[in-house]
Chains A and B, each alone.
Chain A
Amino acid sequence: MSYIAIADRDREEDMHHPKSWFTTYIWSQDHKVIAIQYAMTAIFVGVIALLHSGMMRLQLGFPESFSFIAPEDYYQFITMHGMIMVIYLLTALFLGGFGNYLIPLMCGARDMVFPFLNMLSYWVYLLAVIILLASFFVPGGPTGAGWTLYPPQAILPGTPGATWGILLMLLSLVVFIVAFTMGGLNYVTTVLQARCRGMTLMRMPLSVWGIFTATVLGLLAFPALLVSGIMMTLDSTLGTSFFMPAILSMGEVSKTEGGSPVLFQHLFWFFGHPEVYIVALPAFGIVSDVLATHARKNIFGYRMMVWAILAIGGLSFVVWAHHMYVSGMNPYFGFFFATTTLIIAVPTAIKVYNWVLTLWRGNIHLTVPMLFAIGFIFTFVHGGLTGLFLGNVVVDLPLSDTYFVVGHFHMVMGVSPVLVVFAAIYHWYPKITGRMFNNTLGKWHFGLTFLGTYSIYLPMHYLGILGVPRRYFAMGSTDFIPESAQVMNAGITISALIVAVVQILFFFNMIWSLRAGKKADSNPWRATTLEWQTPQTPPGHGNWGPNLPEVHRWAYDYSVPGAAEDFIPQNMPPDATHTTVDDHARARDQADEHAESAVGDELFGEDE
């Protein structure tokens, strides 16, 4: 089959370029188009999930003021918000979006190794999204079981969407996993097999390392969600009792008996915890590249960073039960998982120190992507430290199911990855669109988002310590919660609404700059990695023009003493570092033209 060779093809003229508008932009096998399709779809559902959180905050901040929010609605908002944000937005955006865009470009390939499968992956993902959104229009509405979908309540009458909603959710997840597997096999194989000459594993940018490792985690962890999803579907439709115990529900004894709800929890979190790192590892990688580029300094401890990514990936499979301290499991079990959880803090802390040390005495440019990347270090340290609290069984027990947990996980895997998403979009926007974004709008967007999210989530920790429980539609008369907690809740809601509205700045900037933005040159940040060295901006089909690049150095040669400029691109040969990058590019183009005309002469000669 022809598709194997595309990524490896040395010569551009061997490639089959799409012929019609439809195959160029819709039914496209080009990794860059697929990346944009993935990202657009993910951001679209993300906005829906953002609206859900707005509705939840209205109810929490001003209870009894909004008659159109019923308790069932509230639970449906919670569930859909959580599931969409974690899976359909963040996973799809980091791996399907950035993974697709960056892997072939950063590795020096022409495309993914299986472009057709890659295209299929997007369309199957879109199908999963459509199935998920369809659940808003079925009798009973979407499931309100909480994003963890714990049985038995997820499929018992009384829970919103216990009939159609939950089935569509499970079906959508299964379809998503199929889509992810198709994409994931592609990303992993491309990284392993389609790097250009000279791009050894230890020369790969950390973005690729993060995305690669996260993909491997996804391939091995999503099966747990698949397995539990299939079993719960059977419990719900055929009346099996994998997870369903004997139960008295609304005055009736169920036909099921003996099933184990805790078994579901184990399976769910065996997926659920690696999922945190499926989102975090690409963010770690991208942040490393953004920091190094905008601080004009090589990343501190590159090899340590790579090994830390791999160590975190491995350890993430042995910490899952720290989400289950209150499930009644054996205390020794809790001890084991608390220990592994604290161990995972070591490689994570190494990464944080290395980011800070990369900034140390760097030539820091406070560009918009850099601001978001530095903002990420703050929110991630904050969320990480509260994670240490919750990783300890004795501290977790009183804080479990309170707003402390909500504050913690939003800080660590809500705000932090989203800040990186913004950093990445601003950083690569000039390459993707060929235009610069508006800097002032970008800075306002950063400032308001960063401070705004802090004013949402920091107070939540206090609410949690007061004992305010999460997942409650309304507190009612609860003696131990002071009046002031409600004032704080109202304040959080106002901040949340402001932050939500501020995102309009971002969308406006992105759309407006598409036409009105200043034309970007091919390497506006003067970065070293390969995606900035493409002959065209945005890169054309096949990425590299006539010949594939050759890599001569690692990805972080910034401010090298004696070099003509403060960065040396990865494809710059060792003997050319005293020339400027522009001179080198010009010489390379001339050589390419020469090569092309030589090939032309040869062909012409043969024809004669």
Chain B
Amino acid sequence: MPWQQPGLPEEGAQTGEFSSSAKKVALIMFLAVVTSIFFLFFMAYIQRMKLFDWYPLEEPFLLWINTAFLVLASIAMQRASRIVALDEGSFGVALMAGGIFAVAFLAGQYFAWEELRAGGFYAASNPANAFFYLLTAMHGIHLLGGLYVWARTAWSSKNGVNRQEISQSVELCSVYWHYLLVLWLVLFALMLNT
């Protein structure tokens, strides 16, 4: 009972705080928000799909290549995070690779858009097309936000800000990269199957 035991809790007693840093807790909360956004988009997609004017979109093959880029980005980021955590030396190459593969993914997404537009698949012509552009754009915007943080991390690691903070930034970047990969896989699977 909260009113029965006045006094400080003993050292090490459970007080309801997470052992992670505040930044990591905030990132996880943010990912919950992003999950909510995409969950609702998916629900809207599934509801809208049932109506008579929905013509499934033939997804460009390029998307498979883009998927491979995103997987590579995630692997590279994981590698960077691991090197930093275990203090195994230079993580610069892995961190750069993680960012560059992500940029390659975004460029690939842009070319996929161009391919669809050239083929006459406009957003206004069918809800399936509209959802394709909308959902890939939303995913891309989130990745762009991640790249901003990645660029700051890369910059500060080059300029020798303390190792502990960089280590945390790299770890959080890798968590975010994995999340966006999983999100993309779900999104891609949904679009392929409908």
Q: B-contacting residues of A (Cβ < 8 Å)?
A: 1, 4, 7, 113-114, 181, 185-186, 188-189, 192-195, 197-203, 219-221, 223-224, 226-227, 230-231, 234, 238-242, 255, 257-260, 263, 266-267, 270, 298, 302-303, 550-554, 556-557, 573-574
Contacts and interface: CB of A to CB of B under 8 A. Distances in A.
Contacts of A181: 30, 33
Contacts of B1: 303
Contacts of A551: 8
A189 B52 CA distance: 45
B30 A574 contact: no
Interface of B: 1-3, 6-9, 15-18, 21-23, 25-26, 29-30, 32-33, 36-37, 40-41, 44, 47-48, 51-54, 123-124, 127, 130, 134, 138, 165
A181 B31 CA distance: 11
A258 B53 contact: yes
Contacts, number: 134
A257 B126 CA distance: 9
Name the 7 nearest CB pairs between A and B, nearest first. A258-B53, A201-B16, A554-B2, A240-B130, A239-B124, A223-B37, A223-B36
B26 A185 contact: yes
A188 B25 CA distance: 9
B73 to A, nearest CB: 24
A240 B37 contact: no
A231 B43 CA distance: 13
A4 B53 CA distance: 51
A263 B17 contact: no
Nearest to B11: A197
A223 B33 contact: yes
B19 to A, nearest CB: 10
Contact of A234 (B18, B33, B36, B134): B134
B181 to A, nearest CB: 21
A8 to B, nearest CB: 8
9 contacts: A185-B26, A185-B29, A185-B30, A219-B36, A220-B32, A224-B36, A227-B40, A227-B44, A241-B124
Contact of B22 (A189, A199, A298, A556): A189
Contacts of A255: 124
Contacts of B40: 223-224, 227, 267, 270
A201 B23 CA distance: 20
A242 B16 contact: no
Nearest to A199: B15
- B interface: dominant SS: helix
Contact of A195 (B17, B26, B29, B127): B17
> Taking each of A181, A227, A238, A263, which has the highest tally of chain B beta carbons within 10 Å of its own beta carbon?
A227
A260 B123 contact: no
Contacts of A239: 124
Contacts of B54: 258
B37 A554 contact: no
B66 to A, nearest CB: 23
Contacts of B41: 227
Nearest to A257: B53
A586 to B, nearest CB: 21
Nearest to B2: A554
A134 to B, nearest CB: 24
Nearest to A113: B22
A260 B2 contact: no
A257 to B, nearest CB: 5
Contact of A260 (B9, B33, B37, B51): B51
A328 B3 CA distance: 51
B17 A192 contact: yes
A574 B16 CA distance: 22
A141 B71 CA distance: 48
A200 B16 contact: yes
B8 A231 contact: no
Contacts of A258: 51-54, 127
B154 to A, nearest CB: 15
A192 B53 CA distance: 48
A124 to B, nearest CB: 15
A4 B22 contact: yes
A201 to B, nearest CB: 4
Contacts of A552: 6-8
Nearest to A264: B44
Contacts of B124: 238-241, 255
A267 B165 CA distance: 40
A556 B9 contact: no
Given A220-B32, A223-B36, A267-B44, A230 B25 contact: no
B6 A242 contact: no
Contacts of B165: 1
Given A193-B18, A258-B52, A263-B48, A240 B3 contact: no
Given A4-B21, A231-B134, A298-B3, 11 more contacts: A4-B22, A114-B22, A186-B26, A192-B18, A201-B15, A224-B36, A227-B44, A239-B124, A242-B127, A258-B52, A260-B47
